[in-house]
Amino acid sequence: MSKPLVMVIDDYAPDRIFARIMLDKAGCFGKVLEVPGGEEALALFEKWLDDRRDGLPDGFPPLIVLLDINMPRMNGFEFLERFSELVPRLGDDAPFVIMLTSSEEPYEQARSEAYEVVAGYLTKPLTAQKAMALCARRRT
């Protein structure tokens, strides 16, 4: 069985790169798809749902989406609103969404966990230990 794809949605390139490095070190994931914003990520999911698979990485859709909250244009919560509408169409292929943010605010964690698609909340940086814990995630 091939290793699953992970998508990192974050506007800050160094955070995406660091997350990729930690996920690579965990050794249980295949490609890490770095996406600079929610709009771009939604476009990829919509393309897959419309059966336009050319240009999508092998293994799409991802097993896990690591999502930042504080981003320009479309923040993490705006992404979750739109993504939640796509989840019924994704069915069993819907990824686990893990919030990966610098915010330690309890209200942001509670707001995140109110979304059915959110499976966890991690604060940055993504450490090797946190990345290894994600290895246990599997589709049923």
Domains of the chain from N-terminus onward: 6-134 (3.40.50.2300)
Q: Residue 38 corresponds to which tokens in the numbers above?
A: 């929610």
Confidence of residue 1 (pLDDT cuts 50, 70, 90): low
What whole-number distance in Å separates Cα of residue 75 and Cα of residue 8? 14
The pLDDT, as a whole number, for residue 83 is: 98
Q: Residue 22 corresponds to which tokens in the numbers above?
A: 């930690």
Question: Do the Cβ atoms of 5 and 60 come closer than 8 Å?
Answer: yes
pTM (predicted TM-score) = 0.95
Confidence of residue 139 (pLDDT cuts 50, 70, 90): low
pLDDT at 107 over 70: yes
Q: Residue 120 corresponds to which tokens in the numbers above?
A: 């966890």
What whole-number distance in Å separates Cα of residue 99 and Cα of residue 52? 28
Confidence of residue 27 (pLDDT cuts 50, 70, 90): very high
